[in-house]
Amino acid sequence: MGDNHKNRKTIVIGHKNPDTDSICSAVCYANLKRILTGEDYRPGRAGRVNEETQFVLNYFGMEAPELIENVKTQVLDIEIRETKGVKKKLSLKIAWNLMQEANAVTIPAVTADGILEGLITVGDIAKSYMNVYDSSILSKACTQYSNIVETLEGNLVVGDLEAYFDKGKVLIAAANPDMMEYYISEGDLVILGNRYESQLCAIEMEAACIIVCEGASVSMTIKKLAQERGCTIVTTPYDTYTAARLVNQSIPISYFMKTEGLITFEEEDYIDEIKDVMASKRHRDFPILDKDGKYKGMISRRNLLGAKGKRLILVDHNEKSQAVEGMENAELLEIIDHHRLGTVETIAPVFFRNQPVGCTATIVYQMYQENSIKIEPQIAGLLCSAIISDTLLFRSPTCTEADKTAALALAEIAGIDADKYASSMFEAASNLKGKTDGEIFYQDFKKFSVGKIAFGVGQITSLNDKELVNLKDRMIPYMVKAREEHGVDMMFFMLTNILSQSTVLLCEGQGAKQIVERAFRIDNRKEEQEDHVVSLPGVVSRKKQLIPSIMLAVQG
């Protein structure tokens, strides 16, 4: 079964608080991988879609990728034993044979529509064998004649296969017929040989069933009498000792199976959570149910040993602090990015492509070109939007020739005028009406760490200066709360004006403002600046201008 286990799907996903590049690159790269491999690659997102990205998706008639809260390994990601469910009236003998064939220790009993009714284990069958001293166990278990005939490899001569043996005890008629009447009661099952008198006597004593051994034939008179008296007759090739030993194996598993307090898991359950339950219980195997409660298969501790997590490709980030929850459990296959190298550690080697361009979508565009894959207009539209967004329509210092070339080529395929389209897109992005402080703050937010210092940086870009000024008074108090929530040392918020290509930086946390002043060599004696606020003309890029300067200042 190995790696191509049900053609496992791979999730292509960007960072938390995703921007347009994260979402569009995930969609377009998943599309490219599907075309190249024919396998199942699906885009995901690690947070809500912001206004700008929503505008882009709507404009090109595309769905947002599925929200993925975490990528912890679930039961549905690993191989389970697909042990078939059986009916609960199955005989112990057949259950035992099935276990031997499937090399299984546990067999589930399942209703016709797939609902789990109970479990029978090898141990339960062994126990049933040790408890054979009860001669009425066969009737207590309400055993169907069809089970008895099948177990004894016999023939039904008189009677109904569907009827049940449900009253008397089981006994072997070894004594003389004149002694027999003392110990046969009404409703018993009598195992006997081919003596006519014994058979006659058992039927007259109102036995429910006689089992005639060694393949002996049954006379017409006996058959007729049995029919009149409602006595079932079964013949078997076995001798009386073997027949007596085997007959208990015809008991239905329902009599011995466990039905109360079954420990089951669901496909959606996380492996980490079920590990503990498994460790605390003595069972070897546990049933797995789907979300409708139907039986799917069995899982044992052994299945967890080689469990591979969800398959994952990261786009537009490579730092663990920005990645979707549970990433350490996933099987990371690739990283496609254009940021500084952060802290993702991998167990196995991965395909890692990191280029100093302004946008991940530019790299994805190059990969379509390198593989000679035709870019559809919708895909071109998403890639182009991502580049416009990340480079602020080529104004950001992160923008390279490659970004511009790619964006213009893509705009043509998508049938858009880059300038006009960019204006509508930025307008959608900076539409802050009716948004809470939190929504604005986290619209584009990332966490970073350098040495022991951790900090967060949010950014809003707008064409409208008045809107940015109004935000200042709202964001400063909110940042205090956000800094505590994240447990970081400093919080920054960039109010970036695309038109004047400048940023007003809000700073929160001990020494935050001083660090920025040191980073940008601002002399704070010259001008009376407000607390918490630093003006940074010419700075628009968090990635290329703000972060490196802060990193250096912190280290210095």
**All CATH 3.40.1390.20 domain ranges in the chain, comma separated:** 92-255
- Comparing CA positions, the residue from 371, 403, 367, 357 lying closest to residue 384 is 403
Model pLDDT, residue 37: 96
Task: Give the tens place of pLDDT for each residue, 4-41.
Answer: 455 689 999 999 999 999 999 999 999 999 999 999 99
Instruction: Count CB neighbours of 107 within 10 A.
Output: 28
Helices 418-429 and 401-414 pack at an angle, to 10 degrees, of 100
State the Cα–Cα distance between residues 458 and 480, nearest whole angstrom: 13
Average pLDDT over residues 418-424: 93
Task: Give the tens place of pLDDT for each residue, 437-462.
Answer: 999 999 899 999 988 999 999 999 88
- State the CATH class of domain 92-255: alpha beta
Count of residues making up the chain: 556
Model pLDDT, residue 3: 45
Helices 512-519 and 547-555 pack at an angle, to 10 degrees, of 100
User: Percent of the chain scored above 90 by pLDDT?
Assistant: 75
What average pLDDT does the structure give for the chain? 92
Task: Give the tens place of pLDDT for each residue, 493-544.
Answer: 999 998 899 999 999 999 999 999 999 998 766 555 688 999 999 999 999 9
Task: Give the tens place of pLDDT for each residue, 366-418.
Answer: 999 999 999 999 999 999 999 999 999 999 999 999 999 999 999 999 999 99
Identify the three-state secondary structure at position 207: coil
421 band by pLDDT with thresholds 50, 70 and 90: very high
- Containing 301, the helix (H) or strand (E) segment is helix 301-305
> Is pLDDT of 157 > 70?
yes
Evaluate the CA torsion angle 394, 399, 404, 406 in order and state its sign: negative
Looking at the domain 10-73+309-429, which fold is it?
inorganic pyrophosphatase (n-terminal core) (3.90.1640)
Alpha helices in 391-452 (DSSP H): 401-414, 418-429, 437-441
**All CATH 3.10.310.20 domain ranges in the chain, comma separated:** 437-555
State the Cα–Cα distance between residues 61 and 55, nearest whole angstrom: 10
Task: Give the tens place of pLDDT for each residue, 71-109.
Answer: 999 999 988 888 899 999 999 999 999 999 988 899 999
Task: Give the tens place of pLDDT for each residue, 304-336.
Answer: 887 889 999 999 999 999 999 999 889 999 999
Task: Give the tens place of pLDDT for each residue, 270-295.
Answer: 998 998 889 888 788 899 999 898 99
pTM: 0.77
Model pLDDT, residue 228: 96
**All CATH 3.90.1640.10 domain ranges in the chain, comma separated:** 10-73+309-429
- State the CATH class of domain 437-555: alpha beta
Task: Give the tens place of pLDDT for each residue, 165-196.
Answer: 999 999 998 767 777 778 889 999 999 988 89
Model pLDDT, residue 422: 94
Task: Give the tens place of pLDDT for each residue, 456-496.
Answer: 999 998 888 888 888 998 999 999 999 999 999 999 999 99
State the Cα–Cα distance between residues 98 and 174, nearest whole angstrom: 35
Task: Give the tens place of pLDDT for each residue, 45-70.
Answer: 999 999 899 999 999 999 999 999 99
